[in-house]
């Protein structure tokens, strides 16, 4: 079973609950329809990973996301996450009206920084993703269509969060392909304060 690190302690999430199409400009860049309610999908524990892997058989795309650890159905910690996606496969599945699991829930498709305990105002959170020292993605609470508290309530109406499960809240515009050797830097800010910084080199 794959673990995450919260305040230096390893914990075991049973799943990762993901929200798709939660930023307007990302919806537009992929030419998707605007959803009338939150688009919810799940990645299994086997998707959780510390490293970023480029696709061996087909192209993999990155999606940077503000991510939360959920305990007692509430946010307990925040981290930087990457939802890795086999975009071509996802497009083909969508065209046929089929589920996305083959394109979204594969092993090592949910990459996370360390998480830090958080009890502040989620309204102050924002993310930045740099690739090869260039700012590629940035987004914050105010750009989200569905806010974290609303998402937790909606998910809880049909599916339970186990303690230490992860919620990924969607990605802003700027997604693209992962290439071996790329240098990724993810940052989470609480207002003006940098609270998380994580560096990866793509394998």
Q: What is the DSSP string of the chain?
A: ---EEETTEEE--SEEEEEES-BHHHHHHTTPPPPSS-EEEEEEGGGEESS----SSS--EE-EEEEEEEETTEEEEEEEEEE-B-HHHHHHHHHTT--SHHHHSSTT-EEE--BEE--S-GGGEEEEEEETTEEEEEEEGGGBSS-HHHHHHHHHTTSPPPTTEEEE----S--EE--TT-EEEEEEEETTEEEEEEEEE--
- Per-domain residue ranges for the chain? 4-201
The CATH number assigned to the domain with range 4-201 reads: 3.90.850.10
* pLDDT per residue as tens, the chain (203 positions): 999 999 999 999 999 999 999 998 887 877 778 788 899 999 999 999 999 999 888 999 999 999 999 999 999 999 999 999 999 999 999 999 999 999 999 999 999 999 999 999 999 999 999 999 999 999 999 999 999 999 999 999 999 999 999 999 999 999 999 999 999 999 999 999 999 999 999 99
Note the pTM of the prediction, 2 decimals: 0.96
């Amino acid at each position: 079973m794959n673990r995450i690190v919260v305040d230096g302690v390893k914990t075991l999430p049973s799943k990762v609950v993901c929200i798709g199409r939660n930023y307007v400009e990302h919806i537009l860049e992929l030419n998707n329809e605007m959803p009338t309610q939150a688009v919810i999908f799940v990645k299994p524990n086997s998707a959780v990973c510390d490293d970023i892997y480029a696709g061996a058989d087909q192209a993999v795309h990155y999606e940077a996301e503000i991510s939360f650890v959920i305990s007692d159905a509430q946010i307990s910690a925040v981290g930087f996450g990457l939802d890795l996606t086999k975009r071509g496969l996802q497009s083909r599945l969508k065209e046929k009206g089929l589920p996305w699991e083959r394109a979204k829930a594969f092993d090592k498709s949910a990459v996370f920084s360390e998480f830090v305990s958080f009890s502040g105002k989620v309204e102050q959170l924002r993310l930045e993703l740099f690739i090869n020292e260039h700012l590629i993605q940035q987004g914050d609470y105010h750009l989200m269509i569905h806010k974290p508290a609303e998402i937790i309530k909606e998910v809880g109406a049909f599916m339970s969060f186990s303690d230490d499960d992860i919620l990924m809240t969607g990605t802003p515009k700027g997604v693209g392909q992962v290439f071996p050797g790329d240098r990724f830097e993810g940052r989470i800010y609480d207002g003006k304060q940098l609270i998380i910084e994580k560096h990866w080199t793509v394998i």
